[in-house]
Copies of this chain bind each other. A is one copy, B any other.
Amino acid sequence: MFNKEITIKDVAKHANVSVATVSRVMNGRDRVSDATRKKILKIIDELNFVPNTMAASMVNKKTKMLSVVVPEIQNPFYTAVIGGMVEVAKKEGFFTLVVATNGDEAEEDEFFDSFLGKNVDGMILIGTHKDAEFYRNIRKPTILVDRYINDCGHDGVLIDNFRGAYEATRHFVEYGHERIAIIDGEHDFNDGKDRYWGYHQAMHEGGLTPDPNYHKQGNWLEEDGYRFTMELMRSEQPPTAIFAANNVICTGAIKAIRDLNLRIGEDISLIGFDDNELAQFVQPRVTVVSRPTREMGLQAAEMLIQKIKGEPSEQTKLKKVILDVELMKYGSVKRLNK
Interface residues of A (CB under 8 A from B): 1-2, 50, 52-55, 57-58, 63-65, 73-74, 76, 79, 82, 86, 90, 95, 97-100, 110-111, 114-116, 118-119, 139, 153, 255, 258, 277-278, 281, 283, 312, 315
Contact = CB atoms under 8 A, between A and B. Distances in A.
A111 B95 contact: yes
B79 A115 contact: no
A26 B308 CA distance: 31
Given A1-B139, A95-B110, A115 B53 contact: yes
27 contacts: A1-B153, A1-B312, A1-B315, A2-B312, A50-B118, A52-B118, A53-B114, A54-B58, A58-B58, A63-B115, A63-B116, A64-B115, A73-B73, A73-B79, A73-B98, A74-B79, A86-B100, A90-B110, A95-B110, A95-B114, A95-B116, A97-B99, A98-B100, A116-B116, A258-B281, A258-B283, A278-B281
Given A1-B312, A54-B54, A63-B116, 5 more contacts: A50-B118, A54-B118, A95-B110, A277-B277, A278-B278
Contact of A53 (B2, B98, B118): B118
Contact of A57 (B2, B54, B139, B283): B54
A153 B2 CA distance: 13
Nearest to A94: B114
A119 B95 CA distance: 14
A139 B1 CA distance: 6
Nearest to A73: B73
Given A76-B74, A79-B74, A278-B277, A57 B115 contact: yes
Contacts of A258: 281, 283
Contacts of A1: 139, 153, 312, 315
Contacts of A82: 73
A38 to B, nearest CB: 23
A95 B115 contact: yes
Nearest to A315: B1
Nearest to A50: B118
A58 to B, nearest CB: 6
Nearest to A136: B1
Contacts of A98: 73, 97-100
B65 A116 contact: yes
A262 B50 CA distance: 58
Nearest to A277: B277
A53 B117 CA distance: 10
Contacts of A2: 139, 312
Contact of A255 (B55, B74, B281, B315): B281
Nearest to A64: B115
A90 B82 CA distance: 23
A197 to B, nearest CB: 31
Contacts of A100: 86, 98
A110 B86 CA distance: 13
Contacts of A153: 1
A50 B283 CA distance: 56
A65 B116 CA distance: 8
Nearest to A278: B281
Contacts of A111: 95
